[in-house]
C-alpha cells in the first residue's frame, strides 16, 4: 500500500484532532465547526485548510497549529507524519489572509445614523421577510439593472454589509466580469478571483473585510475574454451550490442586462433577483425589456429599488 493511500485512509482521525485543536485555540463555535466539515466534504480539504479558506483562521495560525501538532503525531508512525507534512505544505502555499477596507462610498460600513443607511436597513428587513430562513441553504440574491452607471455594485456591496451587520454569514460575489467595481469599493486589487476558478479551476480566495467579521468578498479576478461562456458552462452553478451550503446570504453583483446576457445567466442560477433602476436615467423601455428577458430565467423577482443620485 502506498503512503498516499494510507494518508487518505487516516485523514478522518487526524482531522478530528485538528478540529479539536481549532476549537481549543481559537474558540470556534459549533456552527463554525459544521461549516468546516461541510467545506472539507465539498472540496476534499484538510480541516485546517477548510478553516483557512472560510476565513475562520489566518495562514499564520494554520501553520502554527499544524506545527504544534507535529510533536503529538511524530510518535505514532510514518503515515501520520507524512500527513502532517502534507498538510503544512499545502497550507503554507496559500497566500496570506487578505483584509480589505470598505471605501468611504460605502456609508453602511462607516455610519449608522445616515438616512441612506436607514433606507438600506429597511430594504434588508423587507428582503429578510421575503427570503425567510432558507433552512440550511443560503439565501441568494442577484442584483440586476438594465444599464450602466445605475448603482448595482454599490447597492450589492451595501446590502451585503447590512446582512453581515445583522450577524448573518454573508458572501459578496463580483460576478461582473466585464467592468468590475467591487475591488475599488473595497480598496483592493483583483489579481485573484472568480474568473481564475472558472478558467483554470483554481479555488478562489475569499477576502476578509475589516470590522465586518461576518462578511467575505470574492472579487472578479482579471477580466477574461469570454465572460458569458465562463458563467454559463456549469462551473459557476457548481460554485453557487457550494456557497449555498456554507453561507447564510449570498449577494451577487452583475453586468448591465441591456449590454450583456451575463446577468440573465446568473439570474437563472441564483433564482432570486433584486431589480434596480436609476431615477431620470433608466428608461421605461429598458426596464420593460429587462423584465421581459427575465421571464426566460424563471427567477423570482423579489422587488425593485429606485436609485436617486
Q: What is the pTM of this model?
A: 0.80
Q: Are 78 and 115 in contact (CB under 8 A)?
A: no
The pLDDT of residue 7: 31
The cell 449555498 sits on which residue?
244
Report the distance separating Cα 39 and Cα 34, nearest Å. 9
Nearest in space to 138 (alpha carbons), one of 32, 272, 301: 272
Task: Dump pLDDT digits (tens) for 4-20.
Answer: 333 333 345 678 888 88
Task: Dump pLDDT digits (tens) for 228-250.
Answer: 999 998 899 988 988 898 889 99
Q: Are 120 and 128 in contact (CB under 8 A)?
A: no
The pLDDT of residue 145: 98
Domain ranges of the chain: 3-92, 99-307
What architecture does CATH give domain 99-307? 3-Layer(aba) Sandwich (3.40)
DSSP 3-state helix, strand, coil percentages of the chain (rounded to 5)?
A: 55, 15, 35
The pLDDT of residue 90: 66
Q: Which residues pair with 7 in a beta bridge?
A: none
Report the distance separating Cα 127 and Cα 305, nearest Å. 12
Name the CA dihedral angle for 128, 277, 289, 255, rounded to a multiple of 10 degrees. -80
CB under 8 Å to 253, separation ≥6 — which residues? 143, 152, 153, 156, 157, 172, 173, 174, 175, 176, 180, 181, 182
pLDDT tens for the 309 residues of the chain, in order: 333 333 333 345 678 888 888 888 888 888 788 888 878 877 677 888 888 877 788 777 887 887 777 655 545 555 566 666 666 666 656 556 678 999 999 999 999 899 999 999 999 999 999 987 555 678 999 999 999 999 999 999 999 999 999 999 999 999 999 999 999 999 998 777 899 889 887 777 788 899 998 999 999 988 999 999 999 988 999 889 888 988 899 999 999 999 999 999 999 999 999 999 999 999 999 999 999 999 999 999 999 999 987
The pLDDT of residue 9: 33
Amino acid at each position: 500500500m502506498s503512503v498516499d493511500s494510507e494518508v487518505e485512509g487516516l485523514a478522518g482521525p487526524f482531522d478530528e484532532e485538528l478540529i479539536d485543536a481549532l476549537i481549543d485555540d481559537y474558540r470556534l463555535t459549533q456552527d463554525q465547526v459544521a461549516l468546516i466539515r461541510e467545506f472539507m466534504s465539498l472540496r476534499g480539504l484538510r480541516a485546517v485548510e477548510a478553516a483557512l479558506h472560510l476565513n475562520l483562521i489566518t495562514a499564520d495560525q494554520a501553520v502554527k497549529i499544524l506545527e504544534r501538532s507535529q510533536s503529538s503525531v511524530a510518535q505514532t508512525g510514518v503515515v501520520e507524519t507524512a500527513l502532517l507534512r502534507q498538510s503544512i505544505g499545502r497550507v503554507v502555499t496559500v497566500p496570506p489572509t487578505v483584509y480589505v477596507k470598505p471605501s468611504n462610498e460605502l456609508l453602511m460600513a462607516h455610519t449608522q445614523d445616515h438616512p441612506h443607511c436607514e433606507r438600506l436597513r429597511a430594504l434588508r428587513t423587507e428582503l429578510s421577510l421575503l427570503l425567510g430562513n432558507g433552512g440550511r441553504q443560503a439565501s441568494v440574491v442577484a442584483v440586476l439593472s438594465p444599464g450602466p452607471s445605475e448603482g448595482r455594485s454599490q447597492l450589492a456591496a451595501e446590502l451585503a454589509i447590512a446582512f453581515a451587520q445583522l450577524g448573518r454569514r454573508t458572501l459578496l460575489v463580483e460576478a461582473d466580469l466585464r467592468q468590475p467595481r467591487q475591488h475599488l469599493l473595497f480598496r483592493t486589487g483583483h489579481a485573484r478571483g472568480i474568473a481564475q476558478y472558472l478558467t483554470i479551476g483554481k479555488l478562489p480566495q475569499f477576502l476578509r473585510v475589516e470590522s465586518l467579521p461576518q462578511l467575505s468578498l470574492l472579487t472578479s479576478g482579471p477580466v477574461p475574454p469570454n465572460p458569458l461562456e465562463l458563467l454559463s458552462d456549469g462551473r459557476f452553478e457548481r460554485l453557487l451550490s457550494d456557497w449555498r451550503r456554507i453561507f447564510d446570504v449570498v449577494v451577487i453583483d452583475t453586468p448591465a442586462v441591456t449590454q450583456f446576457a451575463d446577468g440573465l445567466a446568473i439570474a437563472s442560477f441564483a433564482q432570486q433577483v433584486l431589480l434596480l433602476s436609476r431615477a431620470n436615467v433608466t428608461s421605461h423601455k429598458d426596464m420593460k425589456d429587462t423584465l421581459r428577458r427575465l421571464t426566460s430565467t424563471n427567477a423570482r423577482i423579489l422587488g425593485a429599488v429606485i436609485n436617486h443620485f
